[in-house]
Structure 1
Amino acid sequence: METRLTLRLNESIIEKAKEYARSRNISLSKMVEQYLDSIVSTNEITGKQIELTPLVKELSGVIKVSTDFDYKKDYSDYLEKKYQ
């Protein structure tokens, strides 16, 4: 069931949001709905797992890393070389 909601927002924010939505071929109402849904259904308070976007699902598993890979050490080594 859809229900109407009235919001009071800064006019410049509304215009920027409309432009953003238009550039992504989505209505502002749908964009706000998706945003609110993501907040209430995927945060740590609710305990629900975050739903992955199609792009993230597609990219998951593309890079294979060994189980003993130490990403913190690798990044530290990278930064050390970068700033020598």
Structure 2
Amino acid sequence: MDAELKIKIDKDVIDKAKGYAFLHRISLSRMIESYLKSLIDMESSEPKDEIEISSSVKSMSTGVQMPMLLDYKKEIGDYLLEKYK
């Protein structure tokens, strides 16, 4: 059952949120409701040690270990510089 809730939020935040909601084809009310549900679900569920990874993402695994502090922007830049010499 839906109910109304009156809240005060900075006008700039509301305007940006409306734009985001419009681009994602969702109402601002549903977007806020979804966010609040996700917060509640996180609090009510048991804490997980690891993030759950979907099977489709697991299937993309190459087995290559990436360094934790990899600067991917630098790596891409270096690659492009070498490619277009």
| Separation in 2, partners of 1:28, 1:58 | 31
Structure 1: segments with no counterpart, 5+ residues: none
**Which structure exhibits the higher relative contact order, with contacts defined as CA atoms closer than 8 Å and separated by 6 or more residues?**
2
Change beyond 3 A, Cα 1:26–1:46: same
State the TM-score, normalized to the length of structure 2: 0.60
| Separation in 1, partners of 2:16, 2:55 | 30
Give SS of 2:20's match.
helix
Structure 2: segments with no counterpart, 5+ residues: 76-85
State the TM-score, normalized to the length of structure 1: 0.61
**From 38, 43, 61, the counterpart of 1:64:** 61
Q: How many residues align?
A: 68
Q: Which stretches of structure 1, 4 residues or more, deviate above 3 A after TM superposition? A: 56-59
Give SS of 2:15's match.
helix
RMSD, matched Cα: 3.0
